[in-house]
């Protein structure tokens, strides 16, 4: 079936540029069989309708692109409009990374619009973007995580440095860096707005390896091969991930990672356990750390770069098939319906006048 698709890209996020790349790739793939439009969310929180055939370089000096401004109409139509005319979209592909596109803000908007959209719903987006909440949930379910310390006034970590400093709310690489001691972390917090909503420390372990795996629950639960990124620094940095060798899909990696059978089984066991606690929607990426023969859960990336399509490249599943499954999952989903059960008017009928409640 041919769908009218709106691919949402950009957003007021540190990962705005990576979102543009992810969205343009997805739009190009889906345009082979669908009517695809780009909905560009600017860094200053405006919305524009764009053509799907653009290149990333078109966004460097983008003033010429921004001619078809969209507006959000809530109420009767619940839609984007262009020149007061409804934008006819069957399903939205959320290709936003970090910030309000991945933290539940955009998801909340789309749910209020009663729109069909890919990726996490509001609750899962919020939970997975908050690194401390996610860590706490994993720990409470007796799943292996490295201890984290939430930086707050008058408190100090109870484990020695060096540390990995992370924004509490953010992506998997921007703002993530190694610091020698607590005092250095506090100085960085004073000079960067990446940590204004909170910051975390965890123990830096020099010989840890990153291991990544794609996970989805539609059309059935399955997962990709395990990837081991080849990094050029002490962490799997933004530069390693997105800038070297032409971007994410060109980054150096082992795919599949060269792991012994026991470690592979340990990761798959944890994938199943995590998915039982937080059932994923869309294609998500689970990030693990391997320290000697131990595996630790790092985080869930609910809208990974390139939608993690490259992780399935050896498994005879095309990028178009993966994205098509995302569309079908979104269109079939009914979990965002609200219930008004119990709102039957009895409380209103039995209540006294409002003035009597003010005294």
Hey, how many other C-beta atoms are within 10 angstroms of the C-beta on 157?
19
Which CATH number covers residue 105?
3.40.50.20
Is residue 134 domain-resident? no
Q: Are residues 18 and 112 in the same domain?
A: yes
Q: At residue 306, does pLDDT exceed 70?
A: yes
Q: Are residues 176 and 240 in the same domain?
A: no
Contacts of the segment 235-240: beta carbons below 8 A, 24+ positions apart: 235/164, 235/173, 235/176, 235/177, 235/178, 236/172, 236/173, 236/210, 237/173, 237/176, 238/173, 238/174
Three-state SS at 40: strand
Is residue 126 domain-resident? no
pLDDT in tens, 43-72: 999 999 999 999 999 999 878 899 999 999
Q: Are residues 225 and 288 in the same domain?
A: yes
The DSSP code for 77 is: S
So what's the pLDDT on residue 96? Answer: 98
Distance CA 254, CA 212 (A): 10
DSSP string over 182-219: HHHHHHHHHH-GGGTT-EEEEE--TT-EEEEEEEE-SS
Which CATH number covers residue 172?
3.30.1490
Is residue 350 domain-resident? no
Name the residue range of residue 246's domain.
206-332
Domain C-terminal end among 98, 117, 136: 117
Is residue 341 domain-resident? no
The pLDDT > 90 percentage for the chain reads 81
Hey, how many other C-beta atoms are within 10 angstroms of the C-beta on 120?
25
Of these ranges, 79-93, 241-255, 329-343, the one predicted with the greatest mean pLDDT is: 79-93
Q: Are residues 160 and 173 in the same domain?
A: yes
pLDDT in tens, 226-263: 999 997 666 554 555 555 555 566 678 999 999 999 99
Mean pLDDT score across all residues of the chain: 92
So what's the pLDDT on residue 358? Answer: 77
Q: Are residues 92 and 151 in the same domain?
A: no
Q: Are 91 and 327 in contact (CB under 8 A)?
A: yes
So what's the pLDDT on residue 336? Answer: 75
pTM above threshold 0.75 = yes
Q: At residue 294, does pLDDT exceed 80?
A: yes
Is residue 66 domain-resident? yes
Q: Are residues 178 and 290 in the same domain?
A: no
Q: Are 55 and 38 in contact (CB under 8 A)?
A: no
So what's the pLDDT on residue 259? Answer: 97
pLDDT in tens, 168-219: 998 767 899 999 999 999 999 999 999 999 999 999 998 899 999 999 999 9
Q: Are residues 48 and 88 in the same domain?
A: yes
Q: What is the rounded end-to-end Cα distance, in angstroms, of the chain?
A: 61
Distance CA 140, CA 152 (A): 22
Which CATH number covers residue 213?
3.30.470.20
Q: Are 128 and 277 in contact (CB under 8 A)?
A: no
Three-state SS at 88: coil
């Amino acid at each position: 079936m041919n769908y009218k698709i709106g691919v949402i890209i950009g957003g007021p996020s540190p990962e705005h540029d990576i979102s543009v790349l992810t969205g343009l790739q997805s739009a190009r793939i889906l345009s082979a069989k669908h009517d695809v439009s780009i909905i560009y969310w600017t860094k200053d929180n405006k919305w524009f309708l764009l053509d799907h055939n653009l290149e990333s370089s078109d966004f460097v000096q983008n003033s010429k692109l921004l001619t078809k401004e969209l507006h959000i109409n809530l109420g009767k139509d619940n839609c984007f409009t262009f020149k007061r005319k409804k934008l006819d979209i069957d399903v939205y592909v959320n290709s936003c990374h970090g910030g309000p596109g991945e933290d539940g803000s955009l998801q909340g908007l789309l749910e209020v619009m009663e729109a069909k959209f890919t990726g996490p719903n509001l609750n899962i987006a919020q939970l997975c973007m908050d690194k401390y909440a996610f860590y706490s949930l994993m720990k409470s379910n007796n799943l292996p995580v490295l201890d984290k310390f939430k930086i707050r006034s008058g408190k100090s970590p109870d484990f020695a440095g060096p540390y990995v400093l992370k924004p509490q709310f953010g992506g998997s690489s921007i703002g993530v860096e190694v610091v020698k001691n607590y005092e250095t972390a506090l100085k960085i917090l004073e000079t960067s707005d990446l940590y204004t909503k909170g910051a975390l420390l965890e123990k830096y372990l020099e010989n840890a390896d990153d291991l990544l795996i794609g996970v989805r629950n539609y059309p059935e639960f399955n997962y990709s091969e395990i990837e081991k990124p080849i990094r050029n620094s002490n962490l799997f940095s933004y530069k390693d991930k997105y800038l070297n060798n032409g971007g994410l899909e060109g980054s150096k990696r082992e795919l599949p990672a060269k792991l012994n059978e026991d470690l592979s089984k340990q990761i798959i066991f944890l994938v199943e356990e995590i998915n039982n606690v937080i059932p994923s929607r869309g294609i998500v990426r689970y990030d693990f750390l391997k320290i000697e023969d131990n595996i630790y859960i790092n985080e869930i990336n609910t809208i990974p770069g390139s939608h993690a399509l490259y992780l399935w490249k050896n498994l005879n599943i095309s990028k178009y098939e993966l994205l098509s499954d995302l569309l079908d999952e979104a269109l079939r989903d009914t979990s965002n319906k609200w219930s008004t059960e119990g709102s039957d008017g009895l409380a209103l009928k039995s209540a006294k006048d409002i003035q009597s409640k003010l005294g």
